[in-house]
Structure 1
Amino acid sequence: MSSTVTFEIPREVLHATRMSEDELRRELALHLFDEGKLSFGKARELAGMSVWDFQQLLGHRGIAVHYDVDAYEQDRQTLKRLGRI
């Protein structure tokens, strides 16, 4: 079951940032991802961007994609199972 949470940002605050609503949503997604509060997928969803576009934005901003040793090992096992390595 999916639901939506709505919160209000005063127009003056939005105006002070000189950003559109979409830009502000993107900034929030980037910040929450960088802080480890959102996964890549959820942050990308909040930003309203494709996987490729969000990855490019992260790279442009110098934000590293969270990829630890466990994820690396899982990827290696998957590649072995597929006969790629």
Structure 2
Amino acid sequence: MSMLISDTILQAAHITEAELRQEIAILLFQQERLTLGQASRFAEMSQLQFQRLLGSRHIALHYDLAELQEDVKSLQEHGWQ
């Protein structure tokens, strides 16, 4: 599914498309609807960048076994052993 946000809305909110993606990713991560990996991909950031963004806002990481397994799978898919 794709969603189109008009430039008018972005301008009215004084936010860029990238910032909006980050805000949505943070919100969904805080609500535990997205894992750290999913949220960082949605925000189009590396996990480290996304973690730094969360840290700058004093948002705690919730990282469980399922997320670890997802990260290991992702690393394996990208050729890391």
Answer yes or no: is the 8 Å Cα contact 2:29–2:39 preserved in 1.
yes
- TM-score normalised to structure 2 length: 0.72
- Uncovered stretches (5+) of structure 1, i.e. residues with no partner: 75-85
SS of structure 1 residue aligned to 2:39: helix
- TM-score normalised to structure 1 length: 0.69
* Amino acid aligned to 1:10: S
Residue 40 (structure 2) pairs with residue 44 (structure 1): yes
When structure 1 is superposed on structure 2, of 7-16 and 27-36 the one drifting more is 7-16
Larger relative contact order, structure 1 or 2 (CA cutoff 8 Å, min sep 6)? 2
Question: How many residue pairs align between the two structures?
Answer: 66
Indicate the percent of aligned positions where both proteins have the same amino acid. 42
Question: Which residue of structure 2 lines up, in the alignment, with residue 18 of structure 1?
Answer: 14
Alignment of 1:1-85 (within 5 A): 5-67=1-63, 71=65
Please tell me the root mean square deviation across aligned C-alpha atoms, in Å: 1.7
Q: State the 1:10 CA deviation.
A: 2.9
Partner deviation per Cα, 1:41-68 (whole Å, 9 max, x = no partner) = 0000000111111110010011110036
Question: Which residue of structure 2 lines up, in the alignment, with residue 79 of structure 1?
Answer: none
Q: Distance in 2 between matches of 1:10 and 1:52?
A: 30
- Uncovered stretches (5+) of structure 2, i.e. residues with no partner: 69-81
Answer yes or no: is the 8 Å Cα contact 2:36–2:63 preserved in 1.
no
Larger Rg over CA atoms:
1
